[in-house]
């Protein structure tokens, strides 16, 4: 009989049994966790996830909000909005480069009338600027195109047709540089604190007043929920959350004065001073010297900002920035820094009298030229003016008088002339509510000597530099706005106004929501007797025999105080300047005008200033050219 061999496997040890038990326990615990999680999802949270699954059948479409209107001081519209239908590609659904994208663009071509190459270029350029934003292929398409694309969504994946609000500028080139531009917020801007809570795709201000007052002008986007099927085709639409338009911004600008200023700059820029001179630029500023309210500001040449309402081709943008076309995007009123010529003499006069270098009655002989060191400085045309004190020196614009004054102040030390130029508003920001304002430059011994030590100039500071500065020449750089502030400060007797364009924030019905309060004005001490001497000189320059702009304002019918300026610029014809003050108990005004390559101050800038003052005071408008012999 066969006997089975006895099982010789060793018995399970206690240690092995413990390990098996521990593994079984862990496995049981893991199965328990999985079971509990499934029970939680299926039983306790089933309704919640069922609702979320249902929500996958709808798509939220952001409805951009229209920006607030911009009005002039009398409530007339300067900037508003218009509705456009745009064909766009969703940023997250654009097919990658290849056959799929090529087929999509070929199908789109006969629908929107844009070639595939053109669409590829738009995709490439727009995604380079804003990688996460929708790509706009065409705007202002007819309703028939919108309906065709929506009905055939399965043939045009990633293609949307949306209603968008575009900025509209009914006055076209008028004040274009002031308003600035708008565009979709960039990833970099989303990180800024001023855009906290703003969603990708929102239209924000990119420059000018649109940027400064963006938080008021920017509205609240709405949303539309669209039901879609498995192919992404719209099958229904839910009630939408309407967008909320931004608030209105009322400006201090006067539309009629702005038109007059633009016309004046156009006519002044067209005066043939030098044969072959083209693309002459310039700027004007008109402000209330008491409050700093800017009632007119313009830069020439200008451009039509409606160009920026749609995606702008790089070639057009380059042309608008090109010096060959006059760089119309530049706001020369705040960012055009130039030597000012004799308009700077007002500052030299204040500095000379306040430092006790001279008095209003100090007489200096002007033989037509003066030698300082080894350099001979001359009046315009070497014209001698004889013995003149402050009032007559300003009236006839005696260079020799101010040359001597500049040389004397250089010897006193302490940078007296530079200090007063800065106190009166040059070489520093004026505080206007516009971005990208240039501070300019007031040349000083420390500045030039530092350049000399770095071997960036061939000589250190000398008395000749102060002499040049005293008549607004040399390395000086100032803007028309800064000169308007400097003259306003003297007019006010020492109160330095902060120029501003914003007046008030309103709702859509024009009700006041918030006043725009500029920073408090600075004050400088100007002796009333010194101020009066300067004002007498400026009045004589515009109205007395021999005054540099008396021919321009002959028959004007109102008191005008003004100063011409002719600035030399290397490689260019002379630049024309004029700064005027029109006294009035209710509506005083300071006007600063400059015309690049315009020649003598009385030739181009002073006639333009007269046209602006004529509009403000209701005087007959005439373009009167002054004598080319004036300075």
Closest to 333 in 3D by CA, of 483, 174, 206? 483
Whether 622 is in a domain gets the answer: no
- Cα 518 to the chain's mean position, in Å? 18
- Spatial separation of the C-alpha atoms in residues 603 and 216, rounded to whole Å: 43
pTM over 0.85: no
Q: Say if CB 485 and CB 422 are below 8 A apart.
A: no
pLDDT of residue 272: 44
- Spatial separation of the C-alpha atoms in residues 374 and 132, rounded to whole Å: 65
Shared domain check, 96 and 243 = no
- Spatial separation of the C-alpha atoms in residues 300 and 160, rounded to whole Å: 40
Shared domain check, 582 and 494 = yes
- Would you give the DSSP letter of residue 59? E
- Spatial separation of the C-alpha atoms in residues 448 and 463, rounded to whole Å: 12
Taking phi first (over 0 means left), then psi (-120 to 50 degrees means alpha), and beta for anything else, what does residue 425 get?
A: left
Longest dimension (CA), the chain: 155
Q: In what order do the strands lie in the sheet with 222-228?
A: 58-63, 222-228, 234-237
**Residue showing tokens 């066969």:** 2
CB atoms within 10 A of CB 40: 11
- Spatial separation of the C-alpha atoms in residues 487 and 471, rounded to whole Å: 15
Averaged pLDDT, groups of 10, the chain, 631 residues long? 53 70 77 72 58 56 83 96 88 79 88 88 75 78 88 85 89 94 84 84 89 93 65 56 89 97 80 47 96 96 86 79 85 96 98 96 95 90 93 97 96 89 96 94 96 94 95 97 98 96 94 92 96 98 96 94 95 94 96 95 94 92 54 46
Shared domain check, 233 and 174 = yes
Q: Could you check whether the bond before residue 245 is cis, i.e. omega within 30 degrees of 0?
A: no
Shared domain check, 225 and 181 = yes
Closest to 594 in 3D by CA, of 255, 272, 270, 332? 332
Neighbouring residues of 382: CB distance < 8 A, sequence distance ≥ 6: 368, 369
- Spatial separation of the C-alpha atoms in residues 486 and 482, rounded to whole Å: 6
The H-or-E segment that residue 589 falls in is: strand 589-595
Taking phi first (over 0 means left), then psi (-120 to 50 degrees means alpha), and beta for anything else, what does residue 368 get?
A: left
Evaluate the CA torsion angle 465, 466, 468, 474 in order and state its sign: positive
Shared domain check, 115 and 183 = no
Whether 26 is in a domain gets the answer: no
Buried b (16+ CB within 10 A) or exposed e, 139-148: eebeeebbee
CATH of the domain at 343: 3.40.710.10
Shared domain check, 76 and 102 = no
CATH of the domain at 170: 3.90.1310.10
pLDDT of residue 1: 46
pLDDT of residue 129: 64
Shared domain check, 246 and 263 = no
Shared domain check, 552 and 451 = yes
pLDDT of residue 262: 92
Shared domain check, 291 and 196 = no
Bridge partners, residue 222, by sequence: 63
Neighbouring residues of 299: CB distance < 8 A, sequence distance ≥ 6: 177, 281, 282, 283, 328, 330, 331, 332, 333, 336
Q: Say if CB 551 and CB 629 are below 8 A apart.
A: no
Domain boundary among 228, 251, 274: 251
Tally of domains within the chain:
3
Domain boundary among 207, 232, 251: 251
Whether 18 is in a domain gets the answer: no
Whether 348 is in a domain gets the answer: yes
Task: Please report which residue ranges of 413-514 form alpha helices under DSSP H.
Answer: 416-423, 445-453, 463-470, 480-491
- Spatial separation of the C-alpha atoms in residues 35 and 508, rounded to whole Å: 59
pLDDT of residue 32: 76
Closest to 626 in 3D by CA, of 547, 560, 559? 547
Shared domain check, 203 and 97 = no
**Residue showing tokens 């943008």:** 317
Domain boundary among 251, 270, 289: 251
Whether 295 is in a domain gets the answer: yes
Pairing, β 369-372 against β 495-496: unpaired
Whether 466 is in a domain gets the answer: yes
- Cα 69 to the chain's mean position, in Å? 17
Closest to 342 in 3D by CA, of 626, 577, 591? 577
pLDDT of residue 4: 47
Shared domain check, 402 and 273 = yes
pLDDT of residue 308: 82
Whether 445 is in a domain gets the answer: yes
Phi, psi of 344, rounded to the nearest 5 degrees: -70, -15
Evaluate the CA torsion angle 109, 115, 119, 120 in order and state its sign: positive
R_g (Cα) of the chain, nearest Å: 35
Shared domain check, 247 and 262 = no
Whether 46 is in a domain gets the answer: no
Domain hosting 98: range is 87-128
Closest to 425 in 3D by CA, of 413, 434, 437? 437
């Amino acid at each position: 009989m066969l006997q089975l061999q006895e099982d010789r496997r060793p018995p399970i040890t206690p240690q092995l049994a413990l390990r098996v038990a521990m593994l079984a326990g862990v496995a049981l615990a893991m199965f328990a966790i999985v079971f509990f999680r499934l029970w939680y999802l299926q039983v306790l949270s089933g309704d919640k996830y069922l609702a979320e699954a249902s929500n996958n059948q709808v798509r939220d479409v952001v409805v951009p909000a229209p920006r607030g209107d911009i009005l002039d001081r009398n409530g007339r519209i300067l900037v508003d909005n218009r509705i456009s239908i745009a064909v766009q590609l969703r940023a997250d659904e654009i097919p990658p480069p290849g056959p799929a994208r090529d087929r999509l663009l070929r199908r789109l071509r006969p629908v929107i009338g844009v070639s595939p190459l053109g669409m590829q270029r738009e995709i490439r350029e727009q995604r380079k600027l804003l990688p996460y934003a929708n790509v706009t292929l065409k705007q202002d398409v007819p309703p028939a195109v919108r309906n065709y694309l929506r009905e055939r969504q399965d043939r045009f994946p990633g293609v949307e047709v949306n209603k968008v609000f575009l900025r509209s500028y009914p006055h076209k080139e008028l004040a274009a540089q002031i308003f600035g531009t708008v565009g979709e917020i960039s990833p970099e801007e989303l990180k800024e604190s001023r855009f906290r809570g703003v969603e990708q795709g929102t239209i924000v201000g990119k420059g000018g007043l649109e940027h400064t007052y963006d938080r008021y002008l920017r509205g609240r986007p709405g949303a539309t929920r669209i039901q879609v099927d498995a192919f992404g085709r719209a099958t229904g639409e839910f009630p939408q959350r309407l967008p909320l338009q931004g608030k209105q911004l009322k400006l201090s600008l006067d539309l009629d004065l702005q038109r007059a200023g633009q016309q004046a700059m156009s006519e002044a820029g067209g005066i043939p001073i030098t044969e072959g001179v083209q693309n002459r630029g310039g700027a004007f500023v008109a402000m209330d010297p008491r409050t700093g309210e800017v009632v007119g500001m313009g830069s020439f040449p200008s451009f039509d900002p409606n160009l920026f309402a749609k995606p702008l081709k790089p070639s057009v943008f380059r042309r608008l920035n090109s010096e060959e076309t006059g760089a119309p995007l530049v706001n020369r009123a705040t960012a055009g820094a130039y030597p000012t010529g004799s308009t700077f003499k007002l500052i030299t006069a204040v500095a000379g009298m306040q430092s006790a270098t001279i008095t209003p009655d100090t007489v200096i002989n002007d033989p037509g030229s003066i030698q300082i060191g080894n350099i001979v400085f001359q009046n315009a045309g070497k014209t001698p003016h004889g013995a003149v004190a402050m009032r007559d020196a300003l009236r006839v614009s005696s260079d020799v008088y101010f040359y001597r004054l500049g040389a004397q102040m250089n010897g006193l030390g302490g940078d007296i002339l530079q200090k007063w130029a800065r106190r009166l508003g040059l070489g520093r920001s004026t505080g206007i509510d516009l971005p990208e304002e240039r501070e300019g430059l007031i040349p000083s011994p420390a500045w030039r000597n530092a350049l000399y030590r770095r071997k960036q100039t061939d000589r250190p500071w000398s008395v000749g530099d102060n002499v040049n500065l005293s008549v607004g020449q040399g390395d000086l750089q100032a803007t028309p706005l800064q000169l308007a502030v400097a003259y306003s400060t003297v007019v006010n007797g020492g109160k330095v106004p902060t120029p501003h364009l914003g007046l008030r924030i309103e709702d859509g019905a024009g009700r006041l929501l918030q006043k725009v309060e500029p920073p408090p004005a600075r004050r400088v001490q100007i002796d009333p007797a010194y101020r009066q001497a300067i004002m007498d000189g400026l009045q004589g320059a515009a109205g007395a025999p021999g005054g540099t702009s008396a021919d321009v304002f002959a028959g004007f019918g109102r008191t005008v105080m003004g100063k011409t300026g002719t600035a030399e610029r290397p490689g260019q014809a002379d630049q024309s300047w004029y700064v005027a003050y029109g006294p009035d108990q209710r509506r005083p005004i300071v006007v600063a005008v400059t015309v690049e390559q315009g020649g003598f101050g009385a030739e181009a800038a002073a006639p333009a200033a007269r046209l602006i003052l004529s509009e403000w005071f209701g005087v007959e408008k005439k373009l009167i050219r002054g004598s080319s012999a004036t300075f």
